[in-house]
Amino acid sequence: MIYFRKNTITGYTPEEIERGIRKFSFRRHIRLDFHSSVSYMTGDKYFYGVETSKDIQLTRIRTPFERFLPKLIFSFSKKDEFIVYRVRYAYSSLIGLFFLLSAAVFNLIYAFNTSWIDAGSLIVAGLMAIFLALTVLESEITRLRILKAILKSKIDHTTSSSLISRQ
């Protein structure tokens, strides 16, 4: 797998992070690369998740309007105690990225051979910029959703703990 970003979550314990991730995830048994993450109904869940012996992989549940955002998979390593997660593209988004990269390379070769930049090169450059901007947007939306799940889980756990201690 090609991971392009590594983030660290600070301010929370590993138990709080794991509890938040597990509480707000639908469990799946097939790879997230092959599972559609588009749904009208999410309920109280934010992610689809697959657990392996080494890590937990998540992808954000997206609405049909967000279908055009690149699909990212976030991997929380059990070895790192859920403090660090890595980000990669799903296979479909990776194919789109490689298509745009190969088009950019071919347009660059054409421009060197003819000493001319045509409209196709500008279109490919624009599409590449849009793809990368959408990747940053999806990454930030998911990062905020992870933090929201952790915080919501922490508040729920604190509230239930205080109710139990009062009884």
What integer pLDDT is reported at residue 164 of this predicted model? 53
- In the predicted model, is pLDDT for residue 127 greater than 90? yes
Give this prediction's pTM.
0.85
Contact 79, 66 (CB under 8 A): no
| Element at 51 (helix H, strand E) | strand 47-51
pLDDT tens track for 86-108:
999 999 999 999 999 999 999 88
Domain ranges of the chain: 3-166
CA atoms within 13 Å, Cβ hemisphere of 17: 19
Among 68, 39, 76, 58, smallest CA distance to 145 is for: 58
- Segment 63-77 shows an average pLDDT of 89
- Average pLDDT of every residue of the chain: 86
